[in-house]
């Protein structure tokens, strides 16, 4: 898909982050290359700089569009992302349009096209994440990247339905109250109409999606209610939630239920509420001021009901915005209200995203610079000491040089003997790290949940889900507390050992920084709140569906396993960083002793070598100071 598929004003608003990211990646690559070519020890910089690069490359912004049926989500996505095609791409119009949740992304490694997961897979307990790896289960609808008609044809399948009995609909997870049944199409045999597909994945070459933006389109209360993973994983992971209402309906009971149960408290903080279809309020018999006042009152009412700031409520007409862009009518586009919403969303995709990355970017680079400058300082000090040592030999006979060679040889033996302490320190540290891995072992920590899943397969009544989840969250929280205590004990041990080594060998090893797992603990608390809020008495009937109950437990297992694995990675990274300075200074001391012996042996066996070596060390010290200044310049360039 070419850039022409994106309105010009959006290219400027939404692609700033991509240019900024490429600039950052370029600076990071230049810094890494310079460090590599300059011979800096990778143990001091490679982990931290690789981590920054990985975060930049893998950083994605997900926008979740959430609404009941017929609120205009598909039309809004068409207006924002696909109007450059000159036609409607996603099915939109009267009645049901997009019938299943859909994820839109751009992955050049995958073929362009639409993948559809049959609704019958709900009878299996596997999660959506697991289904995504089972390619043979999906129905593929490929199309050429520049074929708008082919894409539109493929996406028309999002409206496909199946006629099933009411019992079958409930078995598939569609628990229908009277209001929901009233809108389900029935035939004379009592069959009801349900979506044919459970989930859709759309992969397209799109300039916005290529910048690291992805879209989650979630249609309707029934779709969300039947998929715990959507409510408990995908929507909470979104950076912004676009919640659509109809200006012609206001906040209905099902809208409020969707907002309360599936957007939730956490989602409310990053939600943008869209009051769509304001064109139904445009009345040529009323003044534009009266119409605007009515729309403003409706926005204030929506903000009050949903308990969000009024400035996060946007009154728009997605249909008029799409029409305006296709017809290139700037006045109609401005009146549609969509540009104001796009400006707010682009701030999430650009400014807030940059600030989030910048919060750790400069701190990481400064910490790395400090480690490398400390290495430089040690090398400069060693070169100066060696120069002064040789200068003291001027005018002395070879017997004095020989004694100094013997003395340095003894120093090296003493240092090698002292390495036993460092090896013992590594051994103790490895045991402590093993204790951390044992505490955060997912199989052990999540055993109660795994047992619950097995019980649910055969239990007539699905009970105990809430209590087991509460117990598991409490156990994981206890384990994280114990890990933090173990890491602090390890830090104290390393600090004492480094202080002793600094005294004994004149090292300059800093005490390791304290590692706090507060971020993991906060995410654990948020996850628990999501699950406890989901497990309301009203969902008891849904939980009696074995596959649904299993999917709920599997989604909890996946989220908790991810947190535990993240804790292990954080501990390992902290550990490598804590020992890096020690290992680097040990290696540097060995190299320095070897260089000193070489210099003295050359002086001992060659006339005139002493003066040359002193001059060489003077130049080396000067070069090291110059390279240290270059080092700071390179890092300051990367931090801009």
> In the prediction, which pLDDT does 12 show?
59
> In the prediction, which pLDDT does 86 show?
76
DSSP single-letter state for residue 186: B
DSSP single-letter state for residue 156: G
Q: How far apart are CA 191 and CA 178, in angstroms?
A: 15
Q: How far apart are CA 578 and CA 509, in angstroms?
A: 9
Which residue is listed with tokens 């036993």?
420
The bridge status of strand 271-276 relative to strand 102-105 is unpaired
461 or 222: whose pLDDT is higher? 461
Six-digit token string for 381 = 């000090």
Q: Is 60-158+196-336 a CATH 3.30.365.10 domain?
A: no
Rounded to 5°, the CA angle 533-538-539 comes to: 70
Confirm if 136 and 184 have CB atoms less than 8 A apart: no
Q: Please report, to the nearest 10 degrees, the dihedral formed by the alpha carbons of residues 541, 264, 341, 61 taken in order.
A: -90
pTM of the predicted protein model: 0.76
Which residue is listed with tokens 């300082």?
377
pLDDT exceeds cutoff 60 at 183 = no
Neighbours of 102 (CB within 10 A): 26
> What's the pLDDT band for 397 if we cut at 50, 70, 90?
low
Of 11-25, 27-41, 429-443, the one with minimum mean pLDDT is 11-25
Q: How far apart are CA 616 and CA 383, in angstroms?
A: 10
Query: What is the location of CATH 3.40.50.300 in the chain?
Result: 60-158+196-336
> In the prediction, which pLDDT does 467 show?
92
566 or 235: whose pLDDT is higher? 566
CB contact set of 11 (below 8 Å; sequence gap of 6+): 3, 207
pLDDT tens, 490-513? 999 999 988 888 888 888 888 888
> What's the pLDDT band for 486 if we cut at 50, 70, 90?
very high
> In the prediction, which pLDDT does 154 show?
92
Q: How far apart are CA 343 and CA 212, in angstroms?
A: 17
CB contact set of 450 (below 8 Å; sequence gap of 6+): 443, 557
pLDDT tens, 586-633? 888 888 888 778 777 777 666 557 777 788 888 888 888 888 899 999
pLDDT tens, 317-373? 999 999 999 999 999 999 999 999 988 888 877 777 787 788 788 888 998 998 888
Mean pLDDT of 52-57: 87
Q: Please report, to the nearest 10 degrees, the dihedral formed by the alpha carbons of residues 531, 177, 201, 243 taken in order.
A: -70
Of 274-283, 422-431, 594-603, 615-624, the one with minimum mean pLDDT is 594-603
pLDDT exceeds cutoff 60 at 294 = yes
Q: How far apart are CA 543 and CA 631, in angstroms?
A: 60
Of 172-186, 260-274, 557-571, the one with minimum mean pLDDT is 172-186
Mean pLDDT of 380-388: 82
Six-digit token string for 346 = 């682009």
Query: What distance lies between CA 190 and its chain's CA centroid?
Result: 46
> In the prediction, which pLDDT does 6 show?
53
Q: How far apart are CA 144 and CA 205, in angstroms?
A: 10
> In the prediction, which pLDDT does 4 show?
46
Mean pLDDT of 232-241: 83
């Amino acid at each position: 898909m070419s850039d022409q598929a994106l309105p010009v004003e959006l290219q400027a608003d939404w692609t700033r982050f991509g240019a900024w990211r490429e600039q950052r990646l370029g600076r990071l690559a230049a810094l890494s290359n310079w460090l590599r070519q300059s011979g800096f020890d990778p143990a001091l910089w490679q982990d931290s700089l690789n981590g920054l690069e990985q975060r930049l490359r893998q950083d994605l912004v997900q926008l979740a569009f959430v609404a009941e049926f017929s609120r205009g989500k598909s039309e809004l996505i068409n207006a924002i992302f696909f109007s450059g095609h000159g036609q409607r791409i996603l099915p939109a119009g009267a009645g049901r349009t997009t019938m299943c949740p859909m994820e839109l992304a751009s992955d050049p490694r995958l073929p362009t096209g639409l993948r559809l997961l049959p609704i019958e897979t709900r009878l299996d307990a596997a999660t959506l994440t697991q289904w995504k790896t089972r390619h043979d289960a999906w129905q593929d609808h490929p199309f050429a990247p520049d074929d708008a008609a082919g894409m539109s044809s493929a996406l028309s399948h999002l409206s496909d339905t199946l006629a099933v009995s009411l019992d079958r609909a409930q078995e598939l997870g569609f628990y229908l109250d009277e209001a929901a049944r009233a809108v389900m199409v029935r035939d004379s045999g009592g069959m009801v109409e349900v979506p044919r597909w459970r989930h859709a994945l759309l992969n397209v070459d799109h300039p916005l999606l290529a910048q690291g933006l992805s879209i989650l389109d979630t249609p309707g209360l029934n779709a969300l209610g039947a998929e715990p993973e959507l409510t408990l994983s995908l929507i909470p992971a979104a950076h912004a939630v676009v919640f659509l209402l109809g200006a012609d309906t206001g906040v209905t009971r099902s809208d409020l239920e969707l907002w309360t149960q599936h957007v939730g408290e956490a989602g409310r903080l990053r939600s943008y509420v869209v009051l769509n279809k304001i064109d139904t309020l445009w009345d040529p018999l009323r003044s534009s001021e009266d119409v605007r006042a009515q729309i403003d009152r409706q926005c204030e009412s929506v903000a009050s009901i949903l308990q969000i700031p009024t400035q996060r409520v946007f009154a728009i007409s997605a249909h008029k915005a799409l029409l305006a862009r296709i017809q290139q009518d700037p006045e109609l586009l401005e009146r549609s209200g969509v540009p104001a919403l796009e400006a707010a969303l682009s701030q999430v995709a650009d400014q807030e995203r940059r600030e989030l990355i910048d919060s750790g970017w400069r701190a990481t680079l400064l910490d790395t610079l400090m480690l490398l400058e400390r290495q430089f300082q040690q090398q400069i000090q060693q070169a100066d000491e060696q120069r002064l040592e040789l200068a003291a030999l001027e005018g002395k006979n070879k017997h004095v040089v020989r004694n100094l060679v013997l003395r340095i040889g003894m120093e090296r033996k003493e240092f090698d003997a002292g390495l036993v302490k460092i090896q013992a320190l590594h051994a103790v540290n490895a045991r402590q790290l093993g204790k951390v891995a044992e505490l955060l072992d997912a199989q052990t920590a999540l055993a109660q949940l795994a047992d619950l899943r097995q019980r649910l397969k055969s239990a007539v009544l699905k009970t105990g889900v809430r209590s087991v989840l509460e117990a598991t969250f409490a156990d994981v929280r206890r384990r994280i507390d114990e890990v933090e205590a173990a890491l602090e004990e390890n830090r104290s041990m390393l600090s004492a050992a480094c202080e002793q080594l600094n005294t004994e060998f004149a090292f300059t090893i800093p005490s390791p920084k304290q590692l706090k797992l507060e971020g993991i603990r906060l995410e654990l608390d948020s996850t628990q709140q999501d699950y406890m809020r989901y497990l309301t008495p009203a969902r008891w009937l849904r939980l009696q569906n074995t596959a649904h109950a299993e999917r709920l437990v599997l989604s909890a297992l996946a989220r908790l396993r991810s947190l535990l694995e993240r804790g292990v990675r954080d501990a390992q990274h902290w550990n490598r960083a804590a020992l890096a300075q020690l290992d680097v200074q040990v290696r540097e001391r060995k190299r320095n002793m070897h260089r000193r012996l070489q210099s003295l042996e050359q002086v001992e066996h060659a006339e005139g070598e002493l003066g040359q070596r002193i001059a060489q060390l003077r130049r080396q010290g000067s070069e090291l100071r110059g390279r240290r200044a270059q080092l700071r310049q390179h890092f300051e360039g990367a931090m801009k």
